[in-house]
Chains A and B, each alone.
Chain A
Amino acid sequence: GENVEQHPSTLSVQEGDSAVIKCTYSDSASNYFPWYKQELGKGPQLIIDIRSNVGEKKDQRIAVTLNKTAKHFSLHITETQPEDSAVYFCAASMTKGAQKLVFGQGTRLTINP
């Protein structure tokens, strides 16, 4: 079955700097890759997603890139702010059939003021 590896497990950056979180997946049949942000006491919140027919997608300060050949995808957050501090999860799923997300282990991002 699918396996998703996420790195790093913790990341600390200065406010205003960029943060990058990387994930690799094992099943070449996976072609949908969402990213979630989870704040303390809350459920995961979808922040951006990408399908395998697209190499990059941007939404304001957040971008995701996908390298299907290498089976890895990354989350880029620019101009980080204190409210970006949270745990971020990547996930992978196949577009066909019933939905089943396989998640990475998560990255705890801390933005230092």
Chain B
Amino acid sequence: KAGVTQTPRYLIKTRGQQVTLSCSPISGHRSVSWYQQTPGQGLQFLFEYFSETQRNKGNFPGRFSGRQFSNSRSEMNVSTLELGDSALYLCASSLTGQGAEKLFFGSGTQLSVL
């Protein structure tokens, strides 16, 4: 079974631009979560989607948004990029996204904002 797939693997953008990251969950998984990983703040929860609906959101500004498609694939978007948005963005999937389910991560998209 294929794991969680994230594209692209690396991205370089400049301040003020916007970016879209893509995630394909494990087949059969309907919940997709996104996390931001930085050396200073560690791993922080961005949002979680199930059946195309955002069910939970972390403490990030409105510039961070996401969506989920009917095939459970998900995208996240960051608008008006800031230098501090440089991070590894991780997508994770689980069957239904309930609290005690095993969560499986992709390899991430490394975003650099110049």
Contact = CB atoms under 8 A, between A and B. Distances in A.
Interface of A: 31-32, 34, 36, 41-46, 49, 51, 89, 91, 93-106
A51 B100 contact: yes
Contact of A95 (B42, B56, B98, B103): B98
Nearest to B99: A95
Given A89-B43, A93-B99, A106-B42, A99 B104 contact: no
B43 to A, nearest CB: 4
Contact of B105 (A32, A45, A93, A106): A45
Secondary structure call for the B interface: strand
Contact of B100 (A41, A43, A93): A93
Contacts of A102: 45
Contact of B102 (A49, A97, A100): A49
Given A89-B43, A100-B58, A105-B42, A43 B99 contact: no
Given A34-B103, A93-B100, A100 B43 contact: no
A10 B4 CA distance: 29
Contacts of B55: 98
B56 A34 contact: no
Contact of A44 (B58, B94, B97, B105): B105
Interface of B: 4, 31, 33, 35, 42-45, 48, 50, 55-56, 58, 90, 92, 94, 97-108
B99 A97 contact: yes
B113 to A, nearest CB: 20
Given A89-B43, A106-B42, A98 B50 contact: yes
Given A43-B105, A43-B106, A43-B107, A103 B99 contact: no
- Please name the 6 residue pairs, one residue from A and one from B, whose CB atoms are nearest each other, closest first: A43-B105, A95-B100, A98-B55, A103-B43, A32-B100, A98-B56
